[in-house]
Amino acid sequence: MKALAALLLLLATPAAAQSNLPPAELADTQLPDPARERAARALMETLRCVVCQGQSIADSDAELAGDMRALVRQRVAAGEEPAAVRAWLVERYGEQVSYAPGLSAASAPLWAAPLLLLAAGALLARGTLKRRRK
């Protein structure tokens, strides 16, 4: 009996992950102005879905990505510059929403680590070569 209940819970989990709410108004609808739609689309390609992490909001089927697409289109349609919309989304969701995060105290180790590892590898190789020559 417990096994059946556990199985039912496992099967119900994916179904419970999706809500019954309709998608946001502009989530999957293009703007009437082609220039503004191009600007919104270009911006959406540079923003990471905070649910899936591996996809842009333009490509993601997640509900939150649809809401973010709608927000981008609403703000661009209202005349906001894409850079201002990006800044607003980064302020709202954090740097992880951007595929090109800026340099900050939190991200500095991520930028410095490859350089430090490369320098450590060069020093190690140099030491190994000096010992072999002797």
Considering the domain architecture, whether residues 109 and 87 belong to the same structural domain is answered as no
Q: What is the rounded distance in angstroms from the CA atom of residue 113 to the CA atom of residue 120?
A: 10
Q: CA 37, CA 61: separation in Å to the nearest integer?
A: 19
pLDDT digits 0-9 by tens, 24-61: 677 778 888 899 999 999 999 999 888 887 888 888 88
Domain enclosing residue 75, as ranges: 21-101
Indicate whether this model's pTM tops 0.85.
no
Residues 72 and 113 in one domain: no
64: nearest Cα among 19, 30, 33: 19
- The average confidence (pLDDT) of the chain is 82
Angle (deg, nearest 10), helices 82-93 and 63-77: 140
* Same-domain status, 55 and 93: yes
What average pLDDT score do residues 14-21 get? 56
Span 110-116, average pLDDT: 86
In a domain, 16, yes or no: no
- In angstroms, rounded to a whole number, what is the distance separating the alpha carbons of residues 116 and 105? 17
Residues 97 and 112 grouped into a single domain: no
Length of the chain: 134
